[in-house]
Amino acid sequence: MYESEGLWRDVDAYFVETLVHEDDALVQARQSGRSTTMPQAEVAPNQGKLLALLVQMVGATRVLEFGTLAGYSTIWLARAVGEHGHVTTFELEPENANIARENLERAGILDRVGVVVGKAAESARRLVEAGTEPYDFVFIDADKPSNPAYLEASLQLSRPGTVIVIDNVVRNGAVIDASSSDERVGGVRAVLTRIAEDDRLDATSLQTVGVKGWDGFTILRRAR
């Protein structure tokens, strides 16, 4: 999944060097991803900056994230919501959550992030049952077969105007293979179909190439 053409990597490196500033906290968080259960699965620096810009553009102060790993994208999101904002992030593996907390503390933003350990669908269900205040922005970047469940939970925890971003929707082009036996591809295709059938949702998907290979995002907005 992470195979990347040399030129794609060079272009990403140029964009990052020119437009994206990674301080020591971000660099260490990205590098510590190697110690998680999914090494090198975090977003690229320019993708992290994109998430931060989207949060700021919509004025989000409450963010929900499915999939923490080492907390690299979490740092981008937590900085974007500002000192009065809050990020709730779901992580399945306790060891990943511990790494993330260390990175968030190093970045000086642990106080604005809640790292919830356990199965994301169950964690989200508990938030729904508790009547949690709706989130302004949701980033879905966890196990792909569960994408439809994560979308349903996100919609229950959202409001009109909420923006939802789903990562890894191209999968080296495999997304177009309706006969694929890959459950990750099936999860992506199922969530895209679900989005297309819901007239409350306005969405598009974009292909990306770069240091993370050939992949892409789906970006949607809840209209009502």
Query: Among 121, 64, 59, which residue's Cα sits nearest to residue 88?
Result: 64
| Percent of the chain residues topping a pLDDT of 70 | 99
Give domain 6-222's CATH superfamily: Vaccinia Virus protein VP39 (3.40.50.150)
Helix (H) or strand (E) holding 149: helix 147-156
The tens digit of pLDDT for each residue in 61-116 reads: 999 999 999 999 999 999 999 999 999 999 999 999 999 999 999 999 999 999 99
- Its pTM surpasses 0.75: yes
Is the separation of the CB atoms in 76 and 107 below 8 Å?
no
Q: What confidence category does residue 3 fall into, taking pLDDT thresholds of 50, 70 and 90?
A: confident
Domain ranges of the chain: 6-222
Q: For 7-31, give one letter per residue: b (16+ CB within 10 A) or e.
A: ebbeebeebbeeebebeebbebbbe
Distance CA 90, CA 77 (A): 14
> What is the per-residue pLDDT for 1?
52
Out of 4-8, 20-24, 54-58, 167-171, least confident range: 4-8
- Report the chain's mean pLDDT, rounded to a whole number: 97
Q: Give, for 211, the enclosing helix (H) or strand (E).
A: none
Phi-psi group of 102: left, alpha or beta (phi > 0 → left; psi -120 to 50 → alpha; rest → beta) = alpha
User: What's the pLDDT score for residue 101?
Assistant: 98
Of 60, 84, 76, 66, nearest in space to 135 by CA = 60
End-to-end, the C-alpha distance of the chain in Å comes to 35
4 pLDDT band, cuts 50/70/90, is confident
CA 87 to chain centre: 12
Given a cut of 70, whether residue 2 has pLDDT beyond it is: no
pLDDT tens sequence across 103-136: 999 999 999 999 999 999 999 999 999 999 999 9
Residue 204: how many CB atoms within 10 A of its CB?
10
